[in-house]
Amino acid sequence: MQRAALLDAARTLLSEGGTEALTFPALAERTGLARSSVYEYFRSRGAVVEELCAVDFPVWAAEVEAAMEGVDTPEAKIEVYVRRQLALVGDRRHRAVVAISAGELDAGAREKIRAAHGGLVAMVVEALEGLGHEQPRLAAMLLQGVVDAAVRRIELGAAEHPDRITEAAVSMALHGVAGEGQQA
């Protein structure tokens, strides 16, 4: 019960202030626990982020997968793959996934998170095969790079509205740098 409350408080802190806001004193204050009690559940901020990713990433990935299953064509699957991930940027569970770049995560934690992320990338490989890509796994990883760049752009509060960033990412995913209407 306390662990769940700590994770919920961590999601809120990450959502409100990013990784800098996630501190043990703040977790203690949000949950009403003594600071020393927080250490009974987690050894570090990195451990909190790692557990959040372990809990939240599968839910997030399942939402993307369910959205992809709701469409039929490879192009539609790719579009939904991009759109659903970008729609989840505002979800506070997403903050934990974004927090994987926190420098204090150990190599083991980073590897677990990379493996989970690989599962997300694997979802789009079949759609890319359907489009005739010779190296669909590589194309999927590059496509995820477009999504990740759009996520960072949205999270940074870029000058462009998030909807414009999403449309640009979808266009890049489906039409490359030539853009929609420019393909031969």
Measured CA to CA, the distance from residue 84 to residue 166 in angstroms comes to 10
With contact defined as beta carbons under 8 Å apart, do 124 and 77 qualify? yes
Task: Copy the structure tokens of residue 41.
Answer: 């559940």
Token pair belonging to 110: 């980073």
Alpha helices in the chain (DSSP H): 2-17, 24-31, 35-41, 45-69, 74-87, 92-98, 107-130, 136-155, 162-175
pLDDT (tens place) for every residue of the chain, 184 residues total: 799 999 999 988 887 777 788 899 999 999 999 989 999 999 988 888 888 888 888 888 899 999 999 999 999 999 999 999 999 886 666 666 565 554 556 676 677 677 777 788 888 999 999 999 999 999 999 999 999 899 888 877 778 898 999 999 999 999 988 767 655 4
Distance CA 137, CA 135 (A): 6
170/166 Cα distance (integer angstroms): 6
Residue 149 burial class via C-beta count within 10 angstroms: exposed 0-12, middle 13-18, buried 19 and up: middle
Model pTM score = 0.78
Smallest CA-to-CA distance from 81 within 60, 96, 67 is with: 67
